[in-house]
């Protein structure tokens, strides 16, 4: 791809990963997102008993999925940031597809769940947004039943950016028996207490709305859902078997909270990689550029123990 083409791809991927920063101020629960067209990407709806409605997700299948009919594939579950970020889904899909075609990344299915604009990848206190239940108890079994997946821990990776990094952390550490690897990219909120006047990436009004909508304005509930607590509760089970990485730029507003979380994991003796990208803010493009080829090495290591087919 020419240099200008890469610039366009990078900008669009950044839009998707960052999501609309005004997402915190949008209370609507859009369980079915607008369709996005991209090569080998399709939108699928399934019936969710937890949400009491149809819920959408996007799924990418590699080209060999159509030609190797007896082959099963690992699955990357990719959690988006606040706002939903559907505008950049097409170039992000091409980003992964290009890596697979170049042999940098093993062929795999990629699932982009619908986490709503501000669903925080956890069950809301009022029960109206059962995000965790939808993803863990319904979507993953649905994917394994509907596609030729490697339906085992060794065949699943969980990754996300920003709000999605927070989701990957809390879900990946809590349900470590489901995932071979967990990747938290610039995850947030990772603070122990949600102080609305100190929220790194939201003004006080937005932060208060999020605290009220998802956590019922309850600091204790916020803490109970946090990766801090899930790490403590599952420290023994996380000593082996789960590849964990945490990535953040040192110019990111969420850097300090990410470093504190890294220290927390270290104190709990939970093996993990903590990667800091110099000079990069809350910018996924800068993070990917800083990681370079090591980004693809993470996925290769994550799938090192795939069962023989």
Per-residue pLDDT tens listing for the chain (309 residues)? 444 444 444 444 444 444 433 333 444 579 999 999 888 999 999 999 999 999 999 999 999 999 999 999 999 999 999 887 676 688 788 889 999 999 999 999 999 999 998 999 999 999 999 999 999 999 999 999 999 999 999 999 999 999 999 999 999 999 999 999 999 999 999 988 887 766 666 667 787 888 899 999 999 999 999 999 999 999 999 999 899 999 999 999 999 999 999 999 999 999 999 999 999 999 887 898 899 999 999 999 999 988 877
Q: What is the pLDDT of residue 284?
A: 80
Q: What is the pLDDT of residue 206?
A: 80
- Smallest CA-to-CA distance from 134 within 148, 150, 113 is with 113
Boundaries of every domain in the chain: 3-302
Looking at residue 85, its pLDDT comes to: 63
In 3D space, the residue among 175, 180, 126 whose CA is nearest the CA of residue 149 turns out to be 180
Report which of 202, 137, 216, 205 is spatially closest to residue 166, judged by C-alpha positions. Answer: 202
- Residues in Cβ contact with 224 at an 8 Å cutoff, skipping those fewer than 6 apart: none
Output b/e per residue, 111-129; b: 16+ Cβ within 10 A.
Answer: bbbbbbbbbbbbbbbeeeb
| pLDDT score at 198 | 64
Q: Residue 193 in 3-state DSSP?
A: coil
Q: What is the pTM of this model?
A: 0.90
State the CATH architecture for 3-302.
3-Layer(aba) Sandwich (3.40)
The distance in angstroms from the start CA to the end CA of the chain is 34
């Amino acid at each position: 791809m020419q240099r200008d083409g890469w610039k366009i791809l990078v900008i669009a991927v950044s839009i998707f990963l960052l999501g609309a920063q005004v997402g915190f101020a949008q209370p609507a629960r859009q369980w079915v997102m607008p369709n996005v067209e991209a090569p080998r990407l399709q939108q699928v709806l399934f019936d969710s008993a937890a949400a009491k409605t149809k819920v959408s997700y996007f799924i990418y299948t590699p080209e060999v999925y159509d030609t190797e009919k007896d082959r099963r594939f690992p699955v990357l579950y990719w959690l988006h940031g606040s706002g939903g970020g559907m505008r950049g889904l097409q170039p992000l899909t091409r980003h992964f597809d290009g890596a697979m075609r170049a042999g940098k990344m093993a062929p795999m299915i990629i699932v982009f769940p619908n986490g709503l604009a501000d669903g925080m990848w956890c069950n809301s206190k009022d029960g109206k947004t059962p995000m965790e239940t939808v993803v863990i108890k319904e979507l993953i079994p649905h994917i394994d039943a509907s596609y030729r997946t490697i339906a085992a821990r060794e065949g699943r990776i969980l990754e996300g950016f920003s709000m999605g990094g927070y989701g990957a952390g809390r879900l990946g550490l809590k349900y470590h028996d489901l995932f071979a690897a967990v990747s938290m990219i610039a995850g947030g909120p990772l603070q122990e207490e949600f102080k609305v006047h100190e929220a790194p990436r939201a003004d006080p009004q937005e932060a208060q709305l999020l605290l009220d909508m998802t956590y019922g304005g309850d600091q204790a509930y916020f803490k109970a859902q946090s990766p801090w607590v899930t790490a403590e509760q599952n420290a023994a089970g996380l000593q082996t078997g789960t590849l964990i990485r945490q990535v953040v730029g040192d110019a990111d507003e969420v850097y300090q909270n990410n470093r504190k979380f890294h220290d927390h994991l270290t104190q709990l003796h939970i093996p993990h990689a903590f990667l800091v990208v110099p000079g990069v803010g809350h910018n996924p493009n800068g993070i990917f550029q800083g990681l370079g080829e090591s980004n693809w090495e993470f996925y290769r290591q994550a799938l090192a123990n795939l069962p023989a087919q």
